[in-house]
Structure 1
Amino acid sequence: MKNEIYIVSHKDLKLPSNELYYPLQVGKKNSRYAGYLQDDTGDNISAKNPYYCELTAQYWAWKNRSAAIQGIVHYRRFFADSLTHNQVITRQPFKSILDATFLEKLLTNHQMILPPKQTFWEPNLWLHYRFQHQTVGMEKVREVIKELFPSYLAAFNQVMFHQRSAHMYNMLIAKQPLFSAYSDWLFSVLAATEKNLDIRNFSRYEQRVFGFLSEFLLNVWIKKNQIDIVEVPLIFTEHRNYLTEAGKFLRRRLVKQSQLKTKLSIKDSKFY
């Protein structure tokens, strides 16, 4: 069977001419891009893209493809072909992205390829999420895990209350059985959470809640199942505006701080 890495995109862009990579169009489709796979065919949750983000691509790949190795990257973020450091490469970036030879080597020695961890300001990931998003989403996730997946509760507590860093972006590559096992668990948790979470009054940004939640759930699943991962640096094909990103980050934090009367500590958490 072929190995397939799906490039999640809502834009029609120049993408790698490499048999390892498969562009996958997600989101609202006024037109269909030539050469792209489509997340609204077969068994799909394409209509949930405003809430699930790139997860509609992961769901589609899980349900409709059967490659030996499956992975998710983004149109502007790719795994690198070396274990050096993250880079921004705007001219001919595809010469520096993960190729089939390096992929096979990595997954011979490890179970899953992930981006490098990001470390946040707050003392734990629960507080980070709380100061950036509607906390009720993570509260509902914990309730679902406690009720339906109790063997994962200790891992959830460890990740969310005792870690400051996490693998983000919903990017991963693994052999098909592991990709499938993770997807099965993830979408089961999110489906149960969705039934109990009212997002009608969320801002448009916050309605992407299931995409936000999944970034943390990946870390919980890895912790619980003791997955042997390898961190591979990213190639960014666009320059990031760190000043703008920092401004948005601080605005969200200040708004949340103004809404919260007291700062949640691990001891004070009603969940721990």
Structure 2
Amino acid sequence: MKIEILVAAHKKFPMPDKKGYLPVLVGAAKNYEPGIEYQRDDEGENISAKNPNYNELTAVYWAWKNLKDVDAIGLVHYRRLFFDSKPYNLDNVISIKKVENLLSKYDVILPKKRNYYIETNYSHYIHAHHKEPLDKTREVIKNKFPQYLNKYDEVMKRRKAHMFNMFIMKRDAFDSYCDFIFGVLRNLEDKIDVSGYSVQEARAYGYISELLMDVWLETNSYKYTEVAWGQIGSKHLVKKAISFINRKYGIGKKQTHF
């Protein structure tokens, strides 16, 4: 199999030195930092200029439209990757040989689910981000993609989800995923206005897409497996925990910036 695992990055950073990994400079249309020799996401058919709103999905869109002779496509991040074993460092990132073996049995490879324990996927999202984009997403699905609505409602009520926009998929699954994700987000753009949002909250389309992974996956009954993932460098777990509690109870709740 010809496999390309995109490594999304917005700056120069140490990259896996293994076959099948393709560093991609996301937001390249507006990123003018010299000396970065990664594949740019503003070549060919692309939505690179939307990176401030779509996050790493601009790399996914570039691959969808421009990598035509590839059997499987994946996405990881420059600090968050799939691993074969610990310690989590660039020497132990998942090998293409292992990916080939897994894809001989499954359609999709995903990170282990994130568990929110005391919150549903829906409540966690609206405690961390503006509520309108997620509610408007349901409207879009109901009106334009009704076959996904039951699963959408089910996923929102759960306390676990496959997050982070990390995956490796066979080509047919990847094309199906992109059709759904970019179809929903394209329609969502007509429903919300993020121009008054803070820089972080303007990334709404990227955040929303994370919650759509399981909606797409389970509606289409693709066979998947989970593998270990990890982050290179500090995760600031204590800081994140405090931030989560503050958001849940409305302490320092995010504000719209005008």
| TM superposition score normalised by structure 1 | 0.87
Q: Distance in 1 between matches of 2:7 and 2:206?
A: 16
Offset at 1:33? Answer: 4.2
Q: Distance in 2 between matches of 1:32 and 1:177?
A: 36
Show the counterpart of 1:68: 71
Show the counterpart of 1:265: none
Contact 2:82 2:228 in 1 (8 A): yes
SS of structure 2 residue aligned to 1:255: coil
Instruction: Report 1:165-180 matches (<5 A).
Output: 165-180=160-175
- Say if 1:256 and 1:230 are closer, same or farther in 2 by CA, change over 3 A: farther
Q: 1:50 aligns with which of 47, 52, 56?
A: 52
Contact 2:53 2:206 in 1 (8 A): yes
Instruction: Report 1:186-205 matches (<5 A).
Output: 186-205=181-200
Offset at 1:30? Answer: 1.5
Count of aligned positions: 251
Q: Distance in 1 between matches of 2:172 and 2:252?
A: 42
Offset at 1:122? Answer: 3.6
Instruction: Report 1:59-208 matches (<5 A).
Output: 59-66=61-68, 67-81=70-84, 89=88, 93-161=89-157, 163-208=158-203
Offset at 1:181? Answer: 1.0
Q: What is the percentage of aligned positions where both structures have the same residue?
A: 38
Q: Distance in 2 between matches of 1:125 and 1:146?
A: 19
Offset at 1:34? Answer: 4.3
- Of 39-48 and 115-124, the range deviating more from structure 2: 115-124
Show the counterpart of 1:218: 213
Deviations 1:96-129, CA, capped at 9 Å, x for gaps: 1111110011111111000000111444211111
| TM superposition score normalised by structure 2 | 0.91
SS of structure 1 residue aligned to 2:219: helix
SS of structure 2 residue aligned to 1:197: coil
- Say if 1:257 and 1:139 are closer, same or farther in 2 by CA, change over 3 A: farther
Q: Distance in 1 between matches of 2:242 and 2:109?
A: 31
Q: Say whether residues 1:4 and 2:4 are aligned partners.
A: yes
Q: Distance in 1 between matches of 2:107 and 2:125?
A: 28
Offset at 1:88? Answer: 5.8
Contact 1:140 1:196 in 2 (8 A): yes
Q: Say whether residues 1:17 and 2:20 are aligned partners.
A: no
Contact 1:76 1:236 in 2 (8 A): yes
* Structure 1 spans left out of the alignment, 5+ residues: 260-272
Show the counterpart of 1:29: 31
Show the counterpart of 1:40: 42
* Structure 2 spans left out of the alignment, 5+ residues: none
Deviations 1:222-242, CA, capped at 9 Å, x for gaps: 121112111111132212111
Offset at 1:256? Answer: 7.3
Q: Distance in 2 between matches of 1:186 and 1:256?
A: 32
Aligned-partner residue type, residue 193 of structure 2 = D
Contact 1:123 1:164 in 2 (8 A): yes
SS of structure 2 residue aligned to 1:231: strand
Q: Distance in 2 between matches of 1:107 and 1:124?
A: 31
Deviations 1:67-113, CA, capped at 9 Å, x for gaps: 1110000001111125xxxx563xxx222111111001111111100
Contact 2:115 2:159 in 1 (8 A): yes
Q: Distance in 2 between matches of 1:52 and 1:25?
A: 14
